[in-house]
Homo-oligomer: A and B are copies of this chain.
Amino acid sequence: MQATTTSPLQVVSDRDIQGAVHRADQCALCPSRTLCWSADCATAQPFSAQRLAKRRVRRGESLFHMGDAFHSLYTVRSGTFKTTTLLEDGRDQVTGFHISGEILGLDGISVQAYQTDCVALEDSEVCVLPYDYVLGMASREAGALRDFLRMMSQEIAREQCVMASLGTMQADERVAMFLLGLSSKHAERGLSPRSFILRMTREEIGSYLGLKLETVSRVLARFQVAGYIQITNSRQIELKDPVRLRALLTKDAQTQPSSRALSA
Interface mask (A132-166 → B, CB under 8 Å = 1, otherwise 0) = 00010011001001100111111111011111101
Q: Are A110 and B166 in contact (CB under 8 A)?
A: no
Bound-state Cα–Cα, A162 to B90, Å: 16
A38 at the interface (CB under 8 A from B): no
A95 at the interface (CB under 8 A from B): yes
Interface size class of A (residues with CB under 8 A): 35 or more
A15 at the interface (CB under 8 A from B): no
Q: Are B88 and A153 in contact (CB under 8 A)?
A: no
- For window 195-216 of A, CB contacts with B under 8 Å fall at 207-210
Output the nearest chain B residue to A156 by Cβ-Cβ distance: B107
Q: Which residues of B contact A260 (CB under 8 A)?
A: none
A19 at the interface (CB under 8 A from B): no
A252 at the interface (CB under 8 A from B): yes
Bound-state Cα–Cα, A88 to B139, Å: 38
Q: Which residues of B contact A250 (CB under 8 A)?
A: 88-89
Which of A161, A164, A209 has the most chain B CB within a 10 Å cutoff? A164
Q: Which residues of B contact A160 (CB under 8 A)?
A: 85, 95, 107, 115-116, 159
- For window 9-66 of A, CB contacts with B under 8 Å fall at none
Bound-state Cα–Cα, A251 to B90, Å: 9
Q: Are B110 and A154 in contact (CB under 8 A)?
A: yes
Q: Contacts A107-B157, A152-B153, A153-B107; is A93 near B145 (CB within 8 Å)?
A: no
Q: Are A152 and B156 in contact (CB under 8 A)?
A: yes
